[in-house]
A and B are shown apart, each in its own frame.
Chain A
Amino acid sequence: MTKEELQNETDDMLIDGYGPEALGQKQKSHVPSEFNPDHLKVFYGKLFPYADFFRWLSYGNDGKHPGCDPSYISRREFSFSLDNDIFLRFQSFHSAAELENSIKEKCPFKIDIGPVYSVEPTKRHAYAHSGDNVFAPVERELIFDIDMTDYDDVRYCCTGADICLNCWPLMTIAIKVIDTALRDDFGFKHILWVYSGRRGVHCWVCDGKARRLTNEQRAAVADYFRVYKGNENSHKKVSLTGHALHPFLVRAYTEVLREFFEKGLLISQTLLSTEERYEMILELIPDAAIASELRGRWQDNGRSSSAKEDINVVRWEQLKHLVSKNKGPGLRRCVEEIVFSFTYPRLDMEVSKHMNHLLKAPFCVHPKTGRICVPIDPNHCEQFDPTAVPTLSQLLEELNERGPNDDLDDEWTGTSLEGAVSYFRTSFLQPLLKACKEGIESSYNAKLQQSKNSFSW
């Protein structure tokens, strides 16, 4: 069975007829298409990358260097969502084997990763809530969660849980904007982007500096990224006042957003083709006269120039032209505001602001779609196709076909998961662990130096 055909079994969940793959393909089922708990058992038995996962979260503390903290990993919270809506929080493990056995035994539908606490989560009741000896988070990756449902007011191809290749690019540009800022502006280096399995992406910033940020500092970073404000009651949700834009916004606009809007979204979502749709944009123009002039032109469906040119592009040019002619109050940034409204990343602020927020682990299986939460390479995120992400049933088929693997390690070799794990290992984990090792060594040496100094007279 071809990959394409196998894909279609899950296509009816994701694509409501717009994706090219859905057209004219029959459904075949050798393996049940829905997420299947028995398959999950096999997945956890053979495919979940325990060793890499554990090494990641140990951040070098699983080594032999005297500066390593053996208690580190055991202070990390995991939580398991089991069948029947049972939710187990504050799970913690002392070793990779313990983690592996627990997952295999419990077979969680979802694994979440929480913060590293001051003491082992399983022992938390012995500690107070305030004062000196507390149970409190001490480290946690800086995380971001971008969800397509937050864009429902600007995409017409899908709604709710659905995604397709017409609206997915909104995620792509979100990754580009945020990733660039995290690296260039904030100086972070060890950033993992992960497909959430259905309709969004997660971002894990794993630098030591990032893990040690306070809630206030996390909120500051999240607010730095915040542009979209307001709710159903306010018309204009993006307000770009001031004589100039902050360089971060300028870069986002000129390098990513403008082109994506004008050459991508405008056309794929036909944003100006019908009255219902162009009204949404006209609403964002603070000058009623301009808005009504455009409305007048478009209502007549006037297609003055060649019918070849996309009507959305034509109308957008008209809008830009009219707005730039009139330099009224509030019009200065009108075009940018429209572009930002539609394309600028919409983050879930609450996820990022608190250290104790749980987030789904990479390499989980999404229970609704069966897709694996695989990493996304930010440098090639335009090529990421969420509809081609390996699913649980697909992987099992591949395992069946491949036959038994003599090499006990890396069972995913020869399956569609291989690429994902390989990327995780080489592009993310190795550089991260190298940096961690250096960090542990240097802070150990610094402490040694300090204690030497205090002994000297």
Chain B
Amino acid sequence: MEIVRSHVHRDTSTNDAVIALPLYRSAPPLEVRLEDFELYAMDRLRVLKGISDGLSRGKKPEEMDQLVYNLWKTHMRSQQASEVENKDIISHFVLRLVYCRTEDLRKWFLSMETSLFRYRFRRENAEAQRAIMAEFDLPYKVVSLVEFESVKDKLEQVARSIGQSLRDNDTIFYKVPFEEVPELVAGRKVFISQGYAYVGMNQVVSLVATLFRSQLSKTLILTNRKWTSTIREQEKHRLTPIVEALCLSYLGPDYSQPREYAQISLKDIDQVAKSSFPLCMRHLFEKLREDHHLKHGGRMQLGLFLKGVGLNLDDALAFWRQEFSHKVGLERFEKEYAYSIRHNYGKEGKRTDYSPYSCQKVISSTPGVGDHHGCPYRHFSEENLRAALNRMGVNGRAIEDVMDKVRNRHYQLACTLTFEAIHGKQCDAGINHPNQYFSDSQKILKPKAQDPPNAS
């Protein structure tokens, strides 16, 4: 980690100034307590998930800026400046281990960390920003005030031509050889003169963020290799279980403790499935009724969901037995399927009480042939999805909005819009968990029920 004479953070412990925004280029030679290893990572994860949430809600840049600031303040601040920095760096490197392991994880981590970096960079002062740019070997020179005055009207013209305008705080411009910014040149988004492009602050942020992203992308691949070849095995008893659990951690209410008001009985289940199940569970439910069978993935996803919804073990056994026995017979059901249902409820084996899947988990699963689990917004063809939504009672303009979200791969937003269309009410929090969909739906349909105590 480099220490560069940069700016603000008044480190009371030493006289060395520190880069407030680390570039995470090399793992720090710091000692970490095992508890901190996990805690730091979880705090950072809360920040990243908050960003993810904000982005998928389509928050505007100014709102994101505020959001990132708040998230960071809430989760990553600490009394001592040096501790803040340590936590920042350590948490990043831990999450790197967690999120390097598959393509999807890497993609998500890359996007969120880059966003985080981008918003933090914007808030740095000019000197710190220049220091960071120098770290990235960006040969940018600040345009002097004199020069700025002479080209100001041209810069204003360019800004207006791309729908922006020069404001007072945008008077910092950087001069860089045009070869360095081909995208900006191609789109005529910069003023160029004598081979130099005059890049505004917004554009600089984009460029730095792009470099940060590509640097992180390469490192993630390397980290993955190291993980699979040495670390995972080495740390089998210490870090590995923590790492593997971290990315599955969904940091909201986990619905593992069913709430009273949400209890459903077997005789209501068909009704309630139609009115309050999210599409993913409704689909599984309908297929179960139709085929009298579900493969493993589907059994897990639906089974745990039902548990979260309030179906107790006996009712669950009765439910699955009723369906499966049509196909496999009573005896086979008891032999092959009953055990795993009890297992899900924590009554067998290591007695872990499994939590129902969050949207993130559902979306990231990969249904194969004969499977019906996963997120329908992701996996259904457009035709099938439209038909399914129609059956749920979504039509007209609402369907188009949903399909638009799907096309942009905002599956949870699509589900949220579906919810809103069916219930005729806004869902401000957005759908993050199938059980949340269910409980929110029930709240609207049965308003007399009291609010449950917080289960998180």
A: residues with CB less than 8 A from B are 184-188, 209, 213, 216-217, 219-221, 223-224, 242-250
Contacts and interface: CB of A to CB of B under 8 A. Distances in A.
B162 A242 contact: yes
Closest 3 CB pairs of A and B: A187-B195, A220-B182, A223-B186
Nearest to B196: A187
A213 B179 CA distance: 8
A406 B214 CA distance: 65
Given A186-B178, A209-B195, A247-B191, A220 B157 contact: no
B160 A242 contact: yes
B122 interface: no
A207 to B, nearest CB: 9
Nearest to A223: B186
A213 B178 CA distance: 11
Contacts of B445: none
Nearest to B183: A220
B161 A242 contact: yes
B154 interface: yes
A209 to B, nearest CB: 7
Given A219-B182, A221-B185, A224-B188, A243 B195 contact: no
B67 interface: no
Contacts of A184: 193-194
Question: Which interface residue of B179, B187, B191 has the most chain A CB atoms within 10 A?
Answer: B179
Contact of B193 (A185, A188, A244, A245): A185
19 contacts: A184-B193, A186-B192, A186-B195, A216-B182, A219-B182, A219-B186, A220-B182, A220-B183, A224-B185, A224-B192, A242-B161, A242-B162, A243-B160, A243-B163, A244-B156, A244-B160, A246-B161, A246-B188, A247-B191
B158 interface: yes
A242 B192 contact: no
A185 B179 CA distance: 12
- Residue of A185, A219, A223 with most partner-chain B CB within 10 A: A185
A248 B154 CA distance: 9
Nearest to A213: B179
Contact of A243 (B154, B161, B179): B161
Contacts of B185: 220-221, 223-224
B383 to A, nearest CB: 28
A245 B182 contact: no
Contacts of B157: 244-247, 250
Nearest to A251: B154
A122 B186 CA distance: 35
Contact of A247 (B158, B179, B187, B196): B158
A187 B194 contact: yes
Given A186-B195, A243-B160, A243-B161, A224 B186 contact: yes
A86 B191 CA distance: 47
Contacts of B195: 185-188, 209
B192 A185 contact: yes
Contacts of A187: 193-196
A186 B154 CA distance: 15
A372 B371 CA distance: 71
A65 B188 CA distance: 41
A248 B187 CA distance: 12
Nearest to B184: A220
Interface residues of B, number: 22
B46 to A, nearest CB: 39
A53 to B, nearest CB: 28
Contacts of B193: 184-185, 187
B206 to A, nearest CB: 15
Contacts of B162: 242
A180 to B, nearest CB: 12
Interface string B148-175: 0000001011101111000000000000
A438 B192 CA distance: 26
Contacts of B194: 184-187
A213 B191 CA distance: 20
A436 B196 CA distance: 21
A244 B161 contact: yes
Contacts of A250: 157
Nearest to A242: B161
Contacts of A220: 178, 182-183, 185-186
A188 B154 CA distance: 20
B197 to A, nearest CB: 9
Contacts of A246: 157-158, 161, 188, 191
Contacts of A209: 179, 195
Contact of A242 (B156, B163, B182): B163
B395 to A, nearest CB: 32
Contacts of B158: 244, 246-247
A61 B195 CA distance: 25
A209 B179 CA distance: 9
A435 to B, nearest CB: 14
Contacts of A223: 185-187
A220 B161 CA distance: 18
B98 to A, nearest CB: 34
Nearest to A221: B185
A216 B186 CA distance: 10
A219 B183 CA distance: 9
Which of B161, B183, B191, B193 has most A Cβ within 10 Å? B161
A219 B185 CA distance: 10
Contacts of A243: 160-161, 163
Nearest to B179: A217
A334 to B, nearest CB: 17
A250 B158 CA distance: 11
A355 B417 CA distance: 49
Contacts of A247: 154, 157-158, 191
A188 B191 CA distance: 16
Nearest to A226: B186
A250 B55 CA distance: 37
Contacts of B156: 244
Given A187-B193, A213-B179, A242-B162, 17 more contacts: A185-B192, A185-B193, A185-B194, A186-B178, A186-B192, A186-B195, A187-B194, A187-B196, A209-B179, A220-B178, A242-B161, A243-B160, A244-B158, A244-B160, A246-B161, A247-B154, A250-B157
A359 B186 CA distance: 23
Nearest to A249: B188
Contacts of A216: 182
Nearest to A244: B160
A153 B157 CA distance: 31
A131 to B, nearest CB: 19
A188 B177 CA distance: 12
A245 B193 CA distance: 16
A16 to B, nearest CB: 38
A224 B158 CA distance: 13
A220 to B, nearest CB: 4
Contacts of B178: 186, 220
A245 B187 CA distance: 12
B184 to A, nearest CB: 8
A390 B194 CA distance: 36
A248 B178 CA distance: 15
B245 to A, nearest CB: 41
Interface centre among B160, B191, B192 (most CB of A within 10 A): B192
Contacts of A245: 157, 161
Contacts of A186: 178, 192, 194-195
A221 B178 CA distance: 9
Contacts of B187: 223
